[in-house]
Structure formats: structure tokens, C-alpha cells
Chains A and B, each alone.
Chain A
Amino acid sequence: LSGKRGIAFDEIAKSAFEEGRGRLATQLLNYEPRAGRQVPLLMSMEEDEIALDKAIESTDSDLVFYVLLHLKKKLPIATFFRIINDRPLAYSLIESSARVMDTELLKDLYYQDDRKTDGANVILRESLAQENFTTRIDKLKLASKLLKDSKDHLVDATALEESIKLLNIQESLERDIFEENFVGLSVNETIFKLTRLGFHPRANKIRSEFKMPDKRFWWIKLRGLVAKREWA
């Protein structure tokens, strides 16, 4: 039969399945080129992994995700992770949908695969979305600790520690200097703002705390003074 056009293999396969000949049905379905018809049938025949592979072959992401949603409901999470692990498209789809809808699933996924950097990034994002100052710091600490464990991203771990230091300084600045916002500014922006407001010793202190190169500091200071219209 192969080589002939226009034969609805999906329907033949369906009849075969209804007759109780599951194996034959699966084999017949291999001849069906239309993934849109193949996949739902395979799912109803409980040939889930084949259904997933056929959906992936079709490059139709929506179809793949449809199968994945079905599998996730049906299977224990560990089995589900095992299935998506050696299928890159399935993995990316779950990863990117979990980013917006289910960060806990994302954390589990990264933990399972020992992807510490990615795990830390999820927590870092949670920290950014956090209104409460203390929780924000706690999340940063957690992320930094995860990065330290992974060892190949020590630079990032140090950066996050610095960011905790900066946030604490900024909070105390807000307490001392009323009606000015500092929390959330970058190191450069903080120094710029302090210079513009005329708090030069504080600016100097941050400069040394964060080991800022001289040249950069003087550029920022210059800009701050210009903004203040103080021509020295």
C-alpha cells in the first residue's frame, strides 16, 4: 500500500484498534503522514511515548505540548521527567511554560538535572518579583548559596553577595535621606545620585566598598556634578 497517495491510514488503524489488534494499528499508523490525525489516536491507544515522538517529528509545538500536558497529568513526576529528558523540544517546552506558570515545577526539574545555575536563576527572579525587603534578601542568599555549591559560577555567586550588600546600604540610605529612593539602583546609579544630592563622603564610601576603578568613579562624579550644576 505504501507509495499510494490519499489513503487514510488513520481510519484503517482505528478500525484495527477497535478490532483489538493494537500492534497492527500502531504499525499501520506509521504510514499516516498527518501528525494531527496520528497523535490523538495513538494517545487513545495509550501509546503515549510514540505519540510524543510523532508530535515532535511534526514540529508542531502545540501538538507536542498537548501530549505533554496529558502525560504530566497521568504519570508520576519522576517518570514524566525521565520521558522529557532525552527529548530536547519536549524539555524546552516544559521549561518555558513552567517559567511563567509553575516555578516550583521548574525548580524540581533543575534539581533533578543538577542544573544549579538555572535553579539559582529561578530564585533570583523570584527575589526580583518580591515586594518584601527581607524576603528579597533571603531569596538572594539562597540563590548565592546554590551558585557557590556549583563552583563553576563563583563570579556570579560573589556578584549576588555584593547585591545583598548594596541593597542593605541602599535601605539605610533611604532611612537617612528622606523622600529619596535608592533601593533597586545599580552601584553606578547610587553613586551618581549621592553626588547629585551632595552626599560626597557616602559616595566615596560606596566606591571603596565596591572597589570601583578610579576612572569610572570620576566619570560618574563628573556627571553627577554636572547634573547638580556645580561647576567646581
Chain B
Amino acid sequence: MVTERATEFDPSKIKDQALRDLCSVLEGVRGKKSLVVDKALSGPLGLIAQSSLLQATQIKNTPKIPGQDLEHSLFFVPRRTPLCDRILEDEGVFGDVTINEYPLYFIPLEPDVLSLELDDAFEDLYLHKTYSSIFNSAKALMLLQQQYGLFPRITGQGDKAKKLLDALLRMRNEAAAEDASTSMALAPSSIIENLVIIDRETDFVTPFLTQLTYEGLIDEVFGINNSHVELEASIIGSAMQNPVEATGRSVGAPPATPQGKKRKVLLEGSDRVFSDLRNINFSAVPGILKKTALRIDADFKKKDDYKTVSEMKTFVTKVLGPAQKDRTSLSMHFNIAEVIQKHINTELFEKTLEIQQSLIAGYSSNQQHELLTELIARGASLETVLRLLCLYSCINTGFKPKDFDLFRREILQGYGYEHVLTLDALEKIALLQSRTVAGSTAAAASRTNYDYLRKPLKLFSENVNESEPDDIVYVYSVYAPLSVRLVQCVIQKSAMAQAARGAGNLNPNSAGWKGFEDLVKNVSGKTFDEVQRGEDKAVRARMILDGQNDKKVTVVFFLGGITYTEIAALRWIAKQEDSRRQIIIATTGIINGNKIIQAATTDARTKPRQV
């Protein structure tokens, strides 16, 4: 694949490239074709290409036509491996298929978010420990390096993050061996300043908490997959009658959807109404909705200002069109906000939040136990309860053995004995443990110590301005995600040092973990700070070619998944840093607490096979 040299960081190019690759791959197969897509792939693929495009390349969606002689082409995403060839050989079909590969790695969800959209990355990394997502992440980051130059500095935290670093360094050597003449391309980048890798394992607490931003709550209440949310037709509202103009492209659903049936809606930043709402704390949502309503109303009223025909024409295309679009979007978001508000007002939600916030604050009391058993008795969802139990265990270094047995019993009697498997899985990932295991010297040395970190990193704070936030605490109302605090230790040193006070005289130009080495020791896993150098000649050549930008890019990579709240917090930082740097968020996929628990309950959900 030819990678072109770039002078600025532009994720949309990745999308264009992916689309071009897909087209060339498909055009390689002549004539009409039917496409059979792996279910796990169809979501991510939908973000690259729409069905209209696929039709243009003569694809008809007809799965299997028995009895007909067809040519078979097989496309491996993202790559073909000897293993697959071997399996095809063993099945005796190797000779009957044309095999090709489609190198799809990062998918730009937004201009500042790149995701591999690997749904099983969490299980792969922390439960099964098969690490294929580390290899895929390294490949994806390597592609960025081939395009923009080496990351001059790679700073990170976590055992799996270290494995990713090793894989990345190794791939650099492999690429150098591949072609000696490309050594120029592998000089340190002058566009990118650094890569920060955060391992999900360093901070499990954040995803277990209920996200309190607008987009975070949509994810908690409805669930967002591949940027799409499934909504009842009644919520989508007037968008229904006109699916083409609807906010968010509607995906392949017929216009006449029967009442009560769900439809997928794409949530993206190009929708003005949504982009104003997504990153704010939910408590500020009604205010923004009202403001937007007033603005749209004013836009419509402007028509009186325009007198001449040409003025009217401009008005209709420039003002009325977008305003119409905003209005449809606004009515949908009013409906969504209403459902969320109802959800928030339930007693179960309030009690859940009460437990979470007292745990975060570091209060430990019998009252939490009481509330937890009450939630179970009142039939709260298994996800809700297990998230709270894991939260307790992660913050308090496990449960006392007596309580541990008590809660296990509550879970098994409340939700079914098959969850012996779930509890076992959570214990293996060190999410739900007894103190006898979690408190052992070996385990204690490798776990994140929230008790210690709470103060110096200002993880908990009760004074936060939710409508005009002055700190990332706002995304959880009282808690600043540790994961994002770690990123701040690397790129916002002086602001963090003020909070930490202990680290007094800190050179603002120092890089890596400098100044925070002692704090990071209390975070799970290995710490690293690697500088990638190139030959002087190559570096100079690179600089001449790219020009020297003052504003450089920081790539923040979350291995094992990132939450919408963390994205919002990173965007808040990006805004502050806007004059100095551009922040690009990259990840294996978007995650939340429910998805983690669902990964652990896979075995318990085993069902008799239908014959």
C-alpha cells in the first residue's frame, strides 16, 4: 500500500483511504456480486461505506444461492494470515476461492477520535490473555508512523501497554529490514509530538461509574454501538416521516416503520445540536436545549429581514436548510433527554449514584452494604449490581472474606447459580476479589492504589461547576477519571503539579512522566517513557519536507477501551491546549461498565443448543 507523505494530521484521510481500498478490493471482482459480511464487521464497515456505495459497485445483498455455480472471493480484514490459509486447506476449499485482504485498522469515528472498533478487545486482553488486539493496535499505530513519521516519544502506563510498546518497536525494526531505502520515512515525526498509551487495566474504576455526560448517559441507558444508537420510532419523532433528512443518516430501514419498532440512528459531530450537547454534564442539558430552541426560532424569524429575491434565495439555502435540520435533530434530543431524565429520577438510579459517590470519596461504611443488598432484593440489573461490587473491590482492595462470601451468595441466589462462572471470571481479571487474595503482597504491589492517589491527583472533588466546568471532574460530577489525570501528568504538568502541590518546582518543558514518577508507582503495571531517534540526516530531511509546525499532535491511545466520559474530558483538555497542541484520541474501541460485565457473563449465558 502506498502511503503518502502528510504535512498535517488529518484523520479524514484515513477514512478516504479506507474507502478507496474497499472500492479497489471490490472492483477486483468483476461483474455483479453478492456480499456476505461477518456480523462483527458490518457495524464498523457501515462507518466507512454506505449501502448506496456498495450498490454502485454492483453488490446485491443476496446471501447464499444454493445450486448455482458461483465464483468465491474471500477478503480478510484486516489481513490474511497463514493460519487462515491452513484452515481453508484442511477444509479442502483453499483452491476454490480467490483470497485477498482489506487492511482496515483505524476507523475515524470523529475528526479527533480513531477507533479500531474491536468489540472483543477487553476479553482478549484481560480475560483470555490472547493479546491479538495488541498486535492489531501496533499495526494501526505503525501505519500512522509510516505516514507521519515515528512518534518522537512514547510514554505510557500498564503491563499490556508495555507489550504494545514492545510490539511497536519490533515492527519498526521489521519495517526497516523490509526496505533499507525507507529509513527516511522512519525518522521521528515533526508533526507529532508524542504518543501516550494508557492501559485500561490501570484504571477500571472509571468505566464502572455511571457516566454523567449527555453522550455517556445515552450510552448507559440505550447503548451506543459503532456510533449508532437504537431508538424507538416515537423517540426519533418527526425525523420518522423523512428518513433521508433525518439527523443522523438512517441506516437501511424502510420509511414506513411500524410503531414500536426500533431504528438505528447515527450520532455524530456534524449534527450541530448533538455536538453542543454530547460532552456536557447532563444537568446542563436542559439549558442548552432551551438555548438551541431559541436560536432555531430566531433563524426562522429572520425571513422578515430579507427583502429582495436574491436575499431570499441565500436565506433559504444558508439559513433555512440547516435550521430545518437542526429542528428535526432538536426534537429527537428533547425526546432522548426526557427518557434519560425519567431514568435518572428513579430511586434505583439515585441509590446507585449514592453508593458510587461515597465509594469514590473514600467513605467506607456498613450503609453501602445495606444499600447493595437492597438493590439486589429489589431486582436491580445484574450489570448495575456487579459494577458496584467491582467498584467497591477495586477501591477498597477487595472485600473482607465474610462480606465476600455474603455477596457471592446474594448474586447466585438473586441472578442464578450459573454466575459462579461470572464471579470466577471477575476474580481472574482482579475486579472482584476477597481481601485475602487482593491484599497479598504480590497483588498489592501491582494494583492501582486509589486511596493513595485520591488526594495528590485530586480524583475527588465536590466543588465543580457543571455548566461551565473548570476541571474534568465535571464528567462524573464528583470524580476526575484517573486515566485522564495520567494523561494530564504527561501533557499538562504545571496544572497537575499545582494540584499535587508536592511536586513544586517543575520545569514546564520536561516531558514523559517527569515530576510524577512517585505517583505513577502507585498505578498498576509497568511505567515507560521511550524516545525514538533517527539518523541526523533523516531527521533534517524530514523537517525540511514537513516544515516546522509550532502546534504539534499528541496521540492518546487507550488500550482496552475508552468511555465517552473520558473522551469528553480529553476534549475539554484539548480545548485548553488548543493554542499549543492538537489532541487525537485513539483506542481499541468504546467501552462502558455494562460491556465489561457482559464480557464476564458470556459463559453464564450459555444456552442449550437449538436443534
Complex contact A159–B412 (CB within 8 A): yes
User: Is chain B's binding surface mostly helix, strand, loop or mixed?
Assistant: helix
Interface size class of A (residues with CB under 8 A): 35 or more
Q: Does A35 contact B (CB under 8 A)?
A: yes
Which of these, B131, B378, B414, contacts A186 with CB under 8 Å? B414
Mark each residue of chain A from 53 to 84: 1 if its CB lies under 8 Å from any CB of chain B, else 0: 00001111111011001000000000000000
Complex contact A159–B420 (CB within 8 A): yes
Complex contact A35–B174 (CB within 8 A): yes
Most chain B CB inside 10 Å of its own CB: which residue of A7, A59, A69, A125? A59
Mark each residue of chain B from 122 to 141: 1 if its CB lies under 8 Å from any CB of chain A, else 0: 00000011111011001000
Residues of B384-430 at the interface with A, using a CB-CB cut-off of 8 Å, are: 405, 408-410, 412-418, 420-421, 424
Complex contact B609–A129 (CB within 8 A): yes
Q: Does B573 contact A (CB under 8 A)?
A: no
Nearest-neighbour CB distance to chain A for B514, whole angstroms, equals 29
A5 vs B377: C-alpha distance when bound (angstroms)? 67
Complex contact A166–B417 (CB within 8 A): yes
Complex contact A5–B132 (CB within 8 A): no
Q: Which residues of A contact B603 (CB under 8 A)?
A: 121, 125
A210 vs B606: C-alpha distance when bound (angstroms)? 25
Nearest-neighbour CB distance to chain B for A185, whole angstroms, equals 8
A59 vs B135: C-alpha distance when bound (angstroms)? 6
Q: Are A63 and B83 CB-contacts (below 8 A) given A33-B173, A92-B128?
A: yes
Q: Which residues of A contact B128 (CB under 8 A)?
A: 92, 95-96
Complex contact A186–B413 (CB within 8 A): yes
Complex contact B180–A66 (CB within 8 A): no
A89 vs B406: C-alpha distance when bound (angstroms)? 35
- Which residue on A lies nearest to B412, using beta carbons? A159
Q: Does A50 contact B (CB under 8 A)?
A: no
Nearest-neighbour CB distance to chain A for B421, whole angstroms, equals 6
Binds B, one of A106-114, A195-203, A214-222: A214-222
Which of these, B82, B170, B177, contacts A6 with CB under 8 Å? B177
Which of these, A66, A124, A125, A162, contacts B81 with CB under 8 Å? A66
Nearest-neighbour CB distance to chain B for A166, whole angstroms, equals 7
A186 vs B607: C-alpha distance when bound (angstroms)? 15
A64 vs B606: C-alpha distance when bound (angstroms)? 28
Q: Does A128 contact B (CB under 8 A)?
A: yes
Complex contact B378–A33 (CB within 8 A): no
Complex contact B377–A188 (CB within 8 A): yes
Residues of B149-204 at the interface with A, using a CB-CB cut-off of 8 Å, are: 163, 166-167, 170, 173-174, 176-181, 183
Q: Does A93 contact B (CB under 8 A)?
A: yes
Nearest-neighbour CB distance to chain B for A222, whole angstroms, equals 9
Q: Which residues of A contact B67 (CB under 8 A)?
A: none
Q: Which residues of A contact B378 (CB under 8 A)?
A: 219, 223
A210 vs B413: C-alpha distance when bound (angstroms)? 9
Nearest-neighbour CB distance to chain A for B273, whole angstroms, equals 39
Nearest-neighbour CB distance to chain B for A77, whole angstroms, equals 19
Q: Does B353 contact A (CB under 8 A)?
A: no
A220 vs B177: C-alpha distance when bound (angstroms)? 67
Additional 14 contacts, C-beta under 8 A, given A62-B84, A160-B420, A215-B377: A5-B176, A5-B177, A33-B174, A62-B81, A63-B81, A66-B81, A95-B128, A128-B604, A131-B608, A156-B424, A159-B409, A160-B417, A192-B379, A210-B413
- Chain B residues near A (Cβ < 8 Å): 81-84, 86, 128-132, 134-135, 138, 163, 166-167, 170, 173-174, 176-181, 183, 373-374, 376-379, 405, 408-410, 412-418, 420-421, 424, 603-604, 606-609, 611
- Chain A residues near B (Cβ < 8 Å): 5-7, 32-35, 40, 57-63, 65-66, 69, 88-89, 92-93, 95-96, 117, 121, 124-125, 128-131, 155-156, 159-160, 162-163, 166, 184-188, 192, 210, 212-213, 215-216, 219-220, 223
